[in-house]
A and B are shown apart, each in its own frame.
Chain A
Amino acid sequence: MEEEKPIIKVVDLVRKFNEFEAVRGISFEVKHGDVFAFLGPNGAGKTTTIKMLTTLLKPTSGKILINGFDPLTQQDEVRKSFGIVFQDQSLDDELTAYENMEFHAVLYNIPAKLRKKRTEELLKFTELWERRNDLIRSFSGGMRRRLEIARGLLHHPKILFLDEPTLGLDPQTRNHIWEYIKNLNQKEKITVFFTTHYIDEAERSAKKVAIIDHGKIITRGTPDQIKEEAKAKSLEDAFIALTGKEIREEELGAGESMRYNQRLRRRRQA
């Protein structure tokens, strides 16, 4: 029964930054237990949408339900329902891996005993247990990513949001991370909502896909449905056919493209 209800429901969601409309009235649903890919070119509005779904930004208008709760009026319930891996890194460099986990567990009010057990479990699962007492400063990009995923799972969320979880990582690490995620989805029935620019990852891992461009959803369905609709051989070809060939960074204002480049650099350095 529960499988049938959407765990994420979005209706006519709009977000403006001053005059600029970054998200222009999108609607979609994600079913319980799905792996949902939210694809789109740079600046399409993916991160802005995720921020609204996760209580970080207030929508200009529209309605959101996360696990049956409204992010505007039931923040705490919504926040307990999801774990998130942000597009940009969000660990404390001056703390150890274990301390980062502990900090999170205490904020989410996990009892001490469970906290230790769960932290050990997750650090072993992400193969970071040996490094638990090292400062994050000494971690590579892949290790940071794995730790962020482990941290996002600490409080047993029903939904895991992943905003470009594999950006800047080598193919081995990317495969590894997708193994974890699929495993989680199958074993713990966690709903996964992710964005990526590696379209082949979405084709391999996602059950449902939505493509957003210029703040609007232009298509959604299973990868096969989308390929069929665009008469393309791969999801990547379909993506390019649907969103056009021109490069998005040229459309960005100087400020935004600088921010974007900084982000890439930071991630690569990490």
Chain B
Amino acid sequence: MNAIYILWLRQLKRYFRSKSRIVGSLGQPLLFLLALSFGFGPIFQKAGGGNYLEFLAPGVIAMGILFTALFSGIEIIWDKQFGFLKETLVAPVTRLRIMIGRTLGGATIALIQGIIVLIIAYFIGFRLSSINLFLAFVFMFLVAIIFTALGTTIASLLEDMQGFQLIMNFLVMPIFFFSGALFPLNDLPRSISLISGANPLTYGVDGLRGALTGVSQFSLGTDLSVLILTSAVLLVLGGYLFSKIEI
């Protein structure tokens, strides 16, 4: 066993031991799937958009991943306040490996969360028309890595949970709304499509939609490259800031 593995394992054990966390974090995606697909479905269809659930499900899966991944940063603040971070920081392991272990742990949990949403969507009636599940998992995992690393980056800069929660509330909704998760990005005003274009989740949602339903705005190659590049940048940035933490 090595350090990265045990850090990853710790995150997973904590996740599976907290049943309320698993159930609680599924409430929102479930609500979005049900309310929006039944509410907007008919209008979307009439406007010629096709089956709305098919459009929406990849977006809500990405949302489940986004929320879980970003908020996993709070575990760093948690560990800072409850002292466990010190135990890892005095161990003969480089900060970079600690950060990688934690990020992989957080990302795996976010991925699991995404898969659960996918299963729920299936039971609501979402059908995979193109079944490149492997590619879908790749996109889901990249989204998970990006936003876990972003959560780590932000958490490394902060001392308290309230501050973290505040910043998250400012970030999460815009990232989600301007990602094409809920509505197509084709005919938006220029300013909004600029924001969407700079939002990494846009490419995650698009890639996931392409992999699951066969319809996407960009080429999957574009989506993949943007996501891989962004995750690399955020891992480096998060790793750097994490290594600067002093307790």
Q: Which residue of B lies closest to A80 (CB)?
A: B92
Q: Per a CB cutoff under 8 Å, which of A92, A106, A112, A151 touches B3?
A: A106
| Residues B69-95 near A (CB distance < 8 A) | 82-84, 86-93
- Whether a CB of chain A sits under 8 angstroms from the CB of B246 is yes
- Whether a CB of chain B sits under 8 angstroms from the CB of A219 is no
Q: How far is the CA of A183 from the CA of B82 in the complex (A)?
A: 30
Which of B12-20, B53-61, B124-132, B184-192 lines the interface with chain A?
B12-20
Q: How far is the CA of A142 from the CA of B17 in the complex (A)?
A: 25
Which of A1-9, A51-59, A122-130, A204-212 lines the interface with chain B?
A51-59
Q: How far is the CB of B140 from chain A (nearest CB, A)?
A: 26
Contacts of A106 in B (CB 8 A): 1-3, 5-6
Contacts of B89 in A (CB 8 A): 55-56
- Whether a CB of chain B sits under 8 angstroms from the CB of A198 is no
- Establish whether residues B246 and A58, one from each chain, have CB atoms under 8 Å apart when the complex forms: yes
- Establish whether residues A103 and B6, one from each chain, have CB atoms under 8 Å apart when the complex forms: yes
Contacts of A254 in B (CB 8 A): none
- Whether a CB of chain A sits under 8 angstroms from the CB of B247 is yes
Q: How far is the CB of B73 from chain A (nearest CB, A)?
A: 18
Q: How far is the CA of A56 from the CA of B244 in the complex (A)?
A: 10
- Establish whether residues A94 and B6, one from each chain, have CB atoms under 8 Å apart when the complex forms: no
- Establish whether residues B90 and A89, one from each chain, have CB atoms under 8 Å apart when the complex forms: no
Contacts of A93 in B (CB 8 A): 82
Contacts of A108 in B (CB 8 A): 91-92
Contacts of A79 in B (CB 8 A): 90-92
- Establish whether residues A107 and B84, one from each chain, have CB atoms under 8 Å apart when the complex forms: no
- Establish whether residues A94 and B92, one from each chain, have CB atoms under 8 Å apart when the complex forms: no
- Establish whether residues A55 and B90, one from each chain, have CB atoms under 8 Å apart when the complex forms: yes
- Whether a CB of chain B sits under 8 angstroms from the CB of A225 is no
Q: Per a CB cutoff under 8 Å, which of A58, A80, A91 touches B84?
A: A91
Contacts of B14 in A (CB 8 A): 92, 94-95
- Whether a CB of chain B sits under 8 angstroms from the CB of A109 is yes
In which size bucket is the chain B interface?
A: 20 to 34
Q: How far is the CA of A166 from the CA of B27 in the complex (A)?
A: 45
Contacts of A58 in B (CB 8 A): 246
Q: Per a CB cutoff under 8 Å, which of B1, B6, B86 touches A90?
A: B86
Q: How far is the CB of A47 from chain B (nearest CB, A)?
A: 10
Q: Which residue of B lies closest to A78 (CB)?
A: B92
Contacts of A112 in B (CB 8 A): 1
Contacts of B17 in A (CB 8 A): 94
Q: How far is the CB of A35 from chain B (nearest CB, A)?
A: 21
| Residues A224-243 near B (CB distance < 8 A) | none
Q: Contact mask A89-122 → B, CB, 8 Å, 1/0?
A: 1111111000100111011110010000000000
Q: How far is the CB of A125 from chain B (nearest CB, A)?
A: 20
- Establish whether residues A56 and B90, one from each chain, have CB atoms under 8 Å apart when the complex forms: yes
- Whether a CB of chain B sits under 8 angstroms from the CB of A200 is no
- Establish whether residues A51 and B247, one from each chain, have CB atoms under 8 Å apart when the complex forms: yes
- Establish whether residues A92 and B246, one from each chain, have CB atoms under 8 Å apart when the complex forms: no
- Establish whether residues B92 and A95, one from each chain, have CB atoms under 8 Å apart when the complex forms: no
Q: Which residue of A lies closest to B79 (CB)?
A: A92
- Establish whether residues B83 and A102, one from each chain, have CB atoms under 8 Å apart when the complex forms: no
Q: Per a CB cutoff under 8 Å, which of A57, A76, A88, A90 touches B246?
A: A57
Q: Per a CB cutoff under 8 Å, which of A80, A94, A109 touches B18?
A: A94
Q: Per a CB cutoff under 8 Å, which of A88, A92, A102, A107 touches B91?
A: A107
- Whether a CB of chain B sits under 8 angstroms from the CB of A75 is yes
Q: How far is the CB of A167 from chain B (nearest CB, A)?
A: 14
- Whether a CB of chain B sits under 8 angstroms from the CB of A84 is yes
Q: How far is the CB of B242 from chain A (nearest CB, A)?
A: 14
- Establish whether residues B86 and A86, one from each chain, have CB atoms under 8 Å apart when the complex forms: yes
Q: Per a CB cutoff under 8 Å, which of B1, B5, B6, B246 touches A56?
A: B246
Q: How far is the CA of A88 from the CA of B132 in the complex (A)?
A: 50
- Establish whether residues A90 and B91, one from each chain, have CB atoms under 8 Å apart when the complex forms: no
Contacts of B83 in A (CB 8 A): 86, 88-91
Q: How far is the CA of A107 from the CA of B89 in the complex (A)?
A: 10
Q: What residues of chain A have their CB less than 8 Å away from a CB belonging to chain B? A: 51, 54-58, 75-76, 79-80, 84, 86, 88-95, 99, 102-104, 106-109, 112, 151
> Would you list 10 pairs from A and B whose C-beta atoms are within 8 A, ordered by A residue?
A55-B90, A56-B247, A57-B246, A58-B246, A79-B90, A89-B82, A89-B83, A99-B10, A106-B2, A106-B5
14 further interface pairs, Cβ-Cβ under 8 Å (given A90-B87, A94-B13, A107-B92): A54-B90, A55-B89, A56-B89, A56-B246, A75-B92, A80-B92, A91-B87, A92-B14, A92-B84, A104-B91, A106-B5, A107-B6, A108-B91, A109-B92
Which 6 pairs show the lowest CB-CB distances between chains A and B?
Answer: A107-B91, A90-B83, A106-B6, A79-B92, A76-B92, A90-B87
